[in-house]
């Protein structure tokens, strides 16, 4: 029962299947975006430096070789970013700080996006009363300023471990995402292909996982990329306040705090971690904007 | 052949809760489809034919529901009484659907091979590899060349005609007993339409399934179906063997549909239209629902909701003309045209 019934429609379209999947198309569009490529390169350098910190950093981050003679040394060839009041090398601390700052932010955003996607997907797909209750909970959670929750939790907690910090940052950052996903899932649930998937007898979980979610993912990816900058800044702010990443761990925020009261005499201690943060956040934001364009299915420029 | 029809729909009521009240989109529809038969379900937009189709798969949700007392008996089982799990076994397996707009009926981020194979994965527990093999086999069956290559492509890479072939391939994977085709050619180019209709006919003959063909195009019905059911305002208004409907349509609505068909070779004059539009399903008129648009309507049509009169062998019509045929000789301007409502002449 597999002989062709009628041989038509053969040359209607020609295509190279290998590079025309929707994700590949988006990546191809992204590759053509020069700004995005610069941002990606910058981020790649930072991530590589963070990953290979022991190889890249000229000194151990917490070494205090000579707390009298080598403290607050201005930038020089041996210490490009200078040293802090304990004679620690600022460049090495910024590189190790990247590990913590990027790592904490990345894991927190992954957690937030997963939680937001799961919550929003269930609410949007279920609809009705379930949706109403779940979204009212989100409304309530969104009405509390995030910084207030963080100050309360972290302030009361005392000395918090890094995994707990990731958890707290992640679990306070998914409410907006859940709304975003819920809207997308609701719209997609009304589309014909969702109905078609149900009409072949697929279970709800399969329809949601295989048909709805893959089509809802683009805005989540964009939100994650744009959101990671916020988390980096937030973590830095908390560390600056002394309730985020605690010493001896170096994070960009607590290095800035180390240098804050030296800003008049030893400006380099606060400046370089600040610059590192600034460049990273800008790069993430530019990449996020570019991703939004690249993933936009309506974007028919140079398809 | 089994004498029992494959599908018996009895007194189907599907309603939707809307802001304007309860919309009785399908309001007491009954019909049968015999094994191996192709039945045309005809009517204009909003008459309830697509809701009927979705009701058969029990894919009415949200604000809609199938009212108690409705019966959809497929192969001897009342689908209304099945659990959701049992119903999933029916969907895509015993009853499959072909959609109006193939591009929107296909998942844009999934290869067509995966989408066809998914049916085998859902119903036959096929492995990834078996599913892929099945997809290729089905693509070949529906006349797509280089099926191995096509299976790896995404819907946006295919032409409209090929997409509809993919949708048909998906529907045929489990060799269903009933194929519901909801306006399968409406979204396609005219040249492709004929190919798709031909394909459906070949498939139907080869695999021997029953087809419920939903369309507003009587021409398509003439080519494919043996029987035709005309729906208007949530009801069946006429049912007849297909030849008879063209030779001797009884219901004035069917007459109007036939007159509104464009004909090759017809010259001069404008295409006839039926004045007015389908009334709102939240508020069907009392009496005959077609009376405002009907050139024969008289006071009985206002007073009395017409039953389905038997007017010949297998020919039913929901029109009082069945008992007062002399009224047909005195057509007048329909109320909807006289008051200028809708598209009058």
pLDDT tens for chain B, 345 residues long, are: 457 899 999 999 999 999 989 999 999 999 999 999 999 999 888 888 899 999 999 999 878 999 999 999 999 999 999 999 999 999 999 999 999 899 999 999 899 999 999 999 999 999 999 999 999 999 999 999 999 999 999 998 899 899 999 999 999 999 999 999 999 988 888 888 888 999 999 999 999 999 999 998 888 898 889 999 999 999 999 999 999 999 899 999 999 988 887 766 666 666 677 888 888 889 899 999 999 999 999 999 999 999 999 999 999 999 999 999 999 888 888 888 777 554 433
- Minimum-distance CB partner of B97 among A12, A15, A199: A199
Indicate the pLDDT class of residue A297, thresholds 50, 70 and 90: low
Q: B157 with A20: CB under 8 angstroms?
A: yes
What's the pLDDT score for residue A14?
A: 43
Q: Over 60: is that where the pLDDT of A10 sits?
A: no
Q: Over 90: is that where the pLDDT of A243 sits?
A: no
- Minimum-distance CB partner of B118 among A21, A23, A200: A200
What's the pLDDT score for residue B213?
A: 95
> How confident is the model over A135-185, as pLDDT tens digits?
999 999 999 998 888 888 888 887 788 888 999 999 999 999 999 999 999
Q: Over 70: is that where the pLDDT of A116 sits?
A: yes
Rounded to an integer, what distance in angstroms lies between the CA atom of residue B122 and that of residue B126?
8
**Is B144 in contact with A9 (Cβ distance < 8 A)?**
yes
Would you give the DSSP letter of residue A73? Answer: P
Q: What is the pTM of this model?
A: 0.82
What's the pLDDT score for residue A61?
A: 79
Q: What is the mean pLDDT of chain A?
A: 85
Rounded to an integer, what distance in angstroms lies between the CA atom of residue B26 and that of residue A24?
45
Which residues of chain A does B137 touch, with a Cβ-Cβ cutoff of 8 Å?
Answer: 2
User: How high is the ipTM of this complex?
Assistant: 0.88
Average pLDDT over residues A51-68: 80
**Is B153 in contact with A215 (Cβ distance < 8 A)?**
no
Indicate the pLDDT class of residue A284, thresholds 50, 70 and 90: very high
**Is B107 in contact with A4 (Cβ distance < 8 A)?**
no
Which residues of chain A does B159 touch, with a Cβ-Cβ cutoff of 8 Å?
Answer: 9, 12-13
**Is B145 in contact with A17 (Cβ distance < 8 A)?**
no
Element (H, E) at A280: helix A268-295
What's the pLDDT score for residue B2?
A: 52
Indicate the pLDDT class of residue A87, thresholds 50, 70 and 90: confident
Q: B178 with B146: CB under 8 angstroms?
A: no
Q: Over 50: is that where the pLDDT of A83 sits?
A: yes
Q: Least CA distance to A206: which residue of chain B?
A: B122
């Amino acid at each position: 029962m597999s002989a062709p019934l009628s041989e038509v429609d053969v040359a209607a379209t020609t295509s190279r299947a290998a590079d025309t999947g929707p994700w590949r198309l988006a990546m191809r569009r992204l590759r053509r975006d020069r700004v995005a490529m610069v941002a990606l390169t910058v981020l790649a350098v930072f991530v590589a430096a963070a990953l290979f910190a022991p190889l890249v950093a000229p000194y151990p981050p917490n070494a205090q070789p000579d707390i009298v003679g080598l403290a607050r040394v201005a930038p020089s060839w041996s210490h490009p970013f200078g040293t802090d009041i304990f004679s620690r090398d600022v460049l090495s601390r910024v590189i190790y700080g990247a590990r913590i700052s990027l790592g904490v932010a990345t894991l927190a955003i992954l957690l937030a996006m997963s939680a937001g996607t799961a919550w929003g997907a269930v609410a949007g797909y279920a609809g009705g009363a379930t949706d109403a209750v779940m979204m009212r909970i989100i409304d309530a959670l969104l009405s509390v300023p995030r910084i207030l929750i963080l100050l309360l939790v972290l302030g009361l907690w005392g000395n918090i471990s890094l995994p707990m910090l990731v958890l707290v940052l992640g679990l306070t950052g998914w409410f907006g995402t859940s709304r975003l996903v819920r809207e997308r899932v609701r719209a997609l649930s009304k589309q014909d292909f969702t109905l078609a998937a149900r009409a072949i007898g697929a279970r709800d979980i399969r329809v949601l996982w295989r048909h709805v979610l893959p089509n809802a993912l683009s805005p989540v990816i964009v939100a994650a990329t744009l959101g990671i900058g916020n988390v980096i800044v937030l973590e830095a702010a908390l560390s600056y306040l002394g309730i985020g990443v605690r010493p001896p761990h170096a994070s960009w925020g607590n290095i800035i705090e180390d240098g804050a009261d030296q800003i008049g005499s030893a400006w380099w201690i606060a400046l370089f971690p600040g610059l590192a943060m600034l460049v990273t956040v800008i790069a993430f934001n530019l990449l996020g904007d570019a991703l939004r364009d690249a993933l936009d299915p309506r974007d028919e420029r140079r398809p | 052949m089994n004498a029992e029809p494959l599908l018996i729909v009895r007194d189907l009521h599907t309603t939707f809760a809307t802001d304007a009240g309860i919309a009785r989109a399908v309001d007491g529809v009954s019909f049968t489809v015999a094994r191996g038969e192709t039945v045309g379900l005809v009517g204009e937009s909003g008459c309830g034919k697509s809701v009927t189709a979705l009701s058969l798969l029990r894919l009415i949700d949200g604000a809609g529901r199938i009212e108690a007392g409705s019966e959809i008996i497929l192969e001897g089982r009342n689908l209304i009484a099945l659990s959701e799990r049992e119903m999933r076994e029916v969907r895509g397996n015993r009853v499959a659907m072909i959609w109006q707009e193939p591009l929107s009926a296909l998942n844009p981020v999934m290869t067509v091979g995966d989408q066809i194979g998914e049916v085998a994965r859902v119903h036959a527990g096929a492995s990834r590899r078996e599913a892929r093999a099945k997809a290729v086999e089905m693509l070949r069956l529906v006349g797509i060349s280089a099926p191995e290559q096509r299976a790896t492509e995404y819907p946006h890479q295919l032409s409209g005609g090929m997409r509809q072939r993919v949708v048909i391939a998906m529907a045929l994977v489990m060799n269903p007993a009933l194929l519901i085709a909801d306006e399968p050619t409406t979204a396609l180019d005219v040249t492709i339409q004929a190919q798709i209709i031909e394909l459906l006919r070949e498939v139907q003959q080869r695999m021997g399934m029953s087809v419920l063909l939903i369309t507003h195009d009587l021409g398509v019905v003439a080519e494919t179906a043996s029987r035709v059911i005309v729906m208007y305002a949530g009801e069946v208004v006429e049912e007849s063997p297909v030849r008879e409907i063209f030779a001797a349509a009884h219901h004035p609505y069917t007459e109007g549909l036939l007159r509104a068909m464009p004909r090759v070779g017809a010259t001069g004059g404008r295409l006839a239209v039926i004045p007015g539009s389908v009334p709102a399903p939240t508020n069907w008129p009392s009496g005959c629902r077609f009376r405002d648009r009907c050139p024969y309507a008289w006071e009985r049509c206002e007073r009395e909701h017409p039953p389905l009169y038997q007017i010949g062998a297998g020919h039913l019509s929901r029109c009082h003309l069945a008992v007062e045929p002399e009224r047909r000789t005195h057509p007048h301007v329909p109320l909807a045209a006289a008051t200028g409502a809708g598209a009058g002449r």
